[in-house]
């Protein structure tokens, strides 16, 4: 497993007086938002990462620093990259889609035979056309 080059990532330093979130608070918010978006409990994430539920709660409130090894495990459980956890990008795309969503679609496409791929593309085109029609009707 690749290491980030540090034993512990404790980025709680910041300027609370400025009213801006510290890096740790931003990471905590990303973890919490993604976990909730996936419909997972803190206990479920904890079990999959191999830590206690209270450790996840502390990560989500920026009360504890994360060990670098946990970044990789959390990213895997939440189907995001470590870059997303640290920086909020490039996995954040417009409309709430993520790189993980795109990978899932690509995997599905690759699992299909030629006929299935054609059907998937046709269905995608139909969905896009319906989306555009709905957007136009909302705009008028």
Each domain of the chain, given as residue ranges in start order, spans: 8-92, 99-139
Task: Tell me the angle at which helices 42-49 and 53-60 cross, rounded to the nearest 10 degrees.
Answer: 110
Which token pair is 27? 């990471």
pLDDT surpassing 70 at residue 121: yes
Long-range CB contact pairs, 33-39, < 8 A, 24+: 34/78, 34/80, 35/60, 35/78, 38/78, 38/79
Is the full-model pTM beyond 0.85? no
Q: What separation, in Å, do the N-terminal and C-terminal C-alpha atoms of the chain show?
A: 53
Give the pLDDT mean for 79-107.
68
pLDDT surpassing 70 at residue 90: no
Report the CATH superfamily, name and number, of domain 8-92. lambda repressor-like DNA-binding domains (1.10.260.40)
């Amino acid at each position: 497993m690749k290491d980030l080059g540090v034993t512990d990532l404790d980025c709680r330093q910041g300027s609370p007086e400025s009213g801006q979130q510290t890096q740790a608070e931003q990471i905590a918010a990303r973890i919490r938002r993604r976990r909730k978006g996936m419909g997972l409990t803190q206990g479920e994430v904890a079990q999959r990462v191999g830590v206690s539920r209270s450790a996840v709660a502390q990560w989500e409130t920026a009360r504890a620093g994360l060990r670098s090894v946990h970044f990789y495990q959390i990213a895997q459980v939440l189907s995001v990259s470590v870059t997303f956890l640290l920086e909020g990008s490039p996995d954040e795309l417009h409309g709430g889609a993520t790189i993980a969503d795109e990978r899932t679609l690509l995997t599905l496409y690759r699992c299909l035979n030629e006929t299935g791929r054609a059907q998937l593309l046709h269905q995608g085109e139909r969905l896009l056309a319906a989306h555009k029609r709905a957007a136009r009707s909302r705009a008028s």
